[in-house]
A and B are shown apart, each in its own frame.
Chain A
Amino acid sequence: MERFLSDWPDLAPGMIDGLLAPPAFIAGAGSTNTYIHQRLAGRLGIQPRFAETLNAGATYGAMVSRAVLAIEAGLCNAVLCVGVGKFPSVHADGAAISTLVGDPEFELCYGASIPAMYAMVAQRFMHRRGTTRDQLSAVAVSAREWALTNPDAYMHGRGPLTLADVPASRPIATPFHRFDCSVPCEGGGALLIVKGASVDRASTSAAYIVGIGETHYHAPISEIAEPTATGLAECAQQAFKMSGLSPKQISIAQLYDAFTITPIMQLEEFGFVEPGAGGEFFESDATGPGGTLPVNTFGGLLSFGHTGDSSGMSFFVEAAQQVMGLAGKRQVDNVDTALVHTYGGILTDNVTVILRREP
C-alpha cells in the first residue's frame, strides 16, 4: 500500500468509494477472515459504498469483475482492489489446503495435493495433445527470462534457467519437478478501477477493461471424465466476444502459471495457437523478451513468485502497467491490448479479462 500510494500521489482518501480485499490476515498464510475490508477501510480513512473481502486468492479476475459490476450498477465510482499474501509452508499447511480443493472424505485419504492434482491434469493433457517434457521446461525458461528483467522478481538474481535444469530439479509428482512449480514467497499489489469518465483525475494513462469472461465447471477434478475439459475455452470466448477482439489482436498475455502446464493449456484453449501447438510456441522464444506474444512479462508465479493470497493480483498489475506504458525495463513495445487469465482451485474457477489502451 505504501508503494501504491507513493506511486500515485494525486490520489486522496475522498476519491475512493469502493474497496475489495483478499482474506489475508495482513500477509498471513491463507486465512478465511472475511472482514479484512473493514480493517483496511479504517486504516485508509475511507467510507466505501461497496466493500467486501473476496476469497480471491488466485482468481483476482473475479475481484476485477465485481468492481466493474459495482461501478456499472452505479453503486460507486472508484474501487480500490488490494492483494496481499504469503504462500503457506507446503508441507506444514499442505493438509489444510488440500481439504479445500479436494473432497475431504473421498479424496484426502489417497494423498491428494494441489501439485499432484495439477500433475494429473498435465499427464492427461500431454497424452491428448502431445505436449513434451522439454516443452514444459520451455515455459519455466521463458518465465525466468522475464524475471531477469524485473528486480522485484524473487528469482531475479538467480540467473538464467536452461531446459535441462527443470527435469534435473527435485521430482514432485510426475511430470512435475521443482522448477515446474511456482516459487513460494510473500507480497502484494493493488489496482484502482474507476469509472471511465473519472480517469483523468487519477492518472495520465489508463488501461480500459473491455472484456470479461467467467466459468466454473467442476469442484473436485476427479468429478469430470475428461480432466482437460475445464471451462478455460468458454471463459476466454466470453471475454473475446464482449470485447469484440480475437486472439490475433492481443499484444501480451498474462496467464496464471502455478505449474508449467497451465500456460500451454491456456494458449491452446484460448485459441492463440492450434491444439497441440502450445508447447512448441514456448520452445520457439515467441513468449520471451522480443517475442511475438510476450507471456507473463513480470516472471510469472514460476519466477516472480507465488504470493499466496495475492498471486492473481500480480498478473493484473503487470498487464495494467504494460498497457499504461509504466513497465520500465520490462516494457514491451506497442502494447495495445492485454489478456489476463486467473484461475483457482484445480482449474475450477476461471476468469478472463481483456484490457486495452483505448476505451
Chain B
Amino acid sequence: MLRLQRCRNCQAAIHYPRRWCPKCWSTDLDHFDARGTGVVITYTIVHQSPFEAFDAYTPYVLAIVQLDEGPTMLTNIVGPGAMEVAIGDPVEVRFEKRNGWTVIPQFERARSKD
C-alpha cells in the first residue's frame, strides 16, 4: 500500500514525510493508506544516465505524478507502454524491490477497465 502522511490539524496530505506540516506547522501527523492512483504531470525519457548505478537502466522514464489525494511525487513509469507515456495519463502504483532489502513505489500506466 502506498502510505502518505496527513496533518490531523489541517487535513493536508503530505509527501515527502516531514516532522511538521508544511501548511500549518503542526506536528500532529499520522499516516494513511492512499489509493495509489494518480495522473502524469510531466515526464522525460532519460538516455544519458546520471551516474554509473543507472547505466544499465537507460533508457528509462522519469516522471512527476500527482496523486489523487493531492501531493506530487517523483517516480519512474514502468511496465507495459512506459515509453509511450503522455502528460495526463492515469497511473497506478506498483512496488519494486531493490537491492534485496528495500521497496520503492513505482507507477504503471493504468489499464482501461472494461
| Residues of A that sit less than 8 Å from B by CB | 90-91, 94-95, 98, 102-103, 105-107, 109-113, 115-117, 119-121, 123-124, 127, 170-175, 220-227
Determine which of B48, B50, B73, B98 lies in contact with A95 in the assembled complex, contact meaning CB atoms within 8 Å: B50
| Residues of B that sit less than 8 Å from A by CB | 15-16, 41-54, 57, 60, 62-64, 66, 70, 72-76, 87, 98, 104
**Nearest residue in A to B99 (C-beta to C-beta)?**
A109
B76 and A111 contacting across the interface, CB-CB below 8 Å = yes
The 12 listed contacts between A and B (C-beta, < 8 Å) are A91-B51, A95-B51, A98-B51, A103-B74, A115-B48, A119-B44, A123-B42, A123-B44, A174-B47, A220-B74, A223-B72, A227-B42
A111 and B72 contacting across the interface, CB-CB below 8 Å = no
Provide the residues of chain A in CB contact with B41, threshold 8 Å.
Answer: 124, 225-227
Chain A nearest Cβ from B45, distance in angstroms: 5
B62 and A127 contacting across the interface, CB-CB below 8 Å = no
A111 and B46 contacting across the interface, CB-CB below 8 Å = yes
B16 and A103 contacting across the interface, CB-CB below 8 Å = yes
A110/B75 contact (C-beta < 8 A), A116-B62, A222-B64 known: yes
A227 and B57 contacting across the interface, CB-CB below 8 Å = no
A102 and B74 contacting across the interface, CB-CB below 8 Å = yes
Provide the residues of chain A in CB contact with B50, threshold 8 Å.
Answer: 91, 94-95, 98, 111-113, 115-116
Chain A nearest Cβ from B70, distance in angstroms: 8
Chain A nearest Cβ from B110, distance in angstroms: 19
**A-B interface, 7 closest residue pairs, ranked by CB to CB distance from nearest:** A113-B50, A119-B44, A124-B42, A222-B74, A95-B51, A171-B47, A94-B50
Provide the residues of chain A in CB contact with B15, threshold 8 Å.
Answer: 106
A110 and B51 contacting across the interface, CB-CB below 8 Å = no
Provide the residues of chain B in CB contact with A174, threshold 8 Å.
Answer: 44-45, 47
Provide the residues of chain A in CB contact with B53, threshold 8 Å.
Answer: 95
A222 and B72 contacting across the interface, CB-CB below 8 Å = yes
Chain B nearest Cβ from A29, distance in angstroms: 15
Chain B nearest Cβ from A208, distance in angstroms: 40
Provide the residues of chain A in CB contact with B64, threshold 8 Å.
Answer: 120, 221-222, 227
Chain B nearest Cβ from A339, distance in angstroms: 28
Chain A nearest Cβ from B106, distance in angstroms: 8
**Nearest residue in A to B66 (C-beta to C-beta)?**
A225
Provide the residues of chain B in CB contact with A111, threshold 8 Å.
Answer: 46, 49-50, 54, 57, 60, 62, 76
- Bound-state Cα–Cα, A111 to B15, Å: 19
Chain A nearest Cβ from B114, distance in angstroms: 29
Chain B nearest Cβ from A125, distance in angstroms: 9
- Bound-state Cα–Cα, A98 to B51, Å: 10
Chain A nearest Cβ from B36, distance in angstroms: 16
Provide the residues of chain B in CB contact with A109, threshold 8 Å.
Answer: 98, 104
A110/B98 contact (C-beta < 8 A), A105-B16, A223-B72 known: no
- Residue from A109, A220, A221 whose CB has the most chain B CB atoms within 10 Å: A109
Determine which of B16, B62, B66 lies in contact with A110 in the assembled complex, contact meaning CB atoms within 8 Å: B62
Provide the residues of chain B in CB contact with A172, threshold 8 Å.
Answer: 47-48
A sample of 10 more A-B contacts (CB under 8 A), given A112-B62, A223-B72, is: A98-B51, A110-B104, A111-B49, A111-B57, A116-B62, A120-B62, A170-B48, A172-B48, A174-B44, A175-B44
A222 and B73 contacting across the interface, CB-CB below 8 Å = yes
- Bound-state Cα–Cα, A98 to B73, Å: 16
Provide the residues of chain A in CB contact with B72, threshold 8 Å.
Answer: 222-225
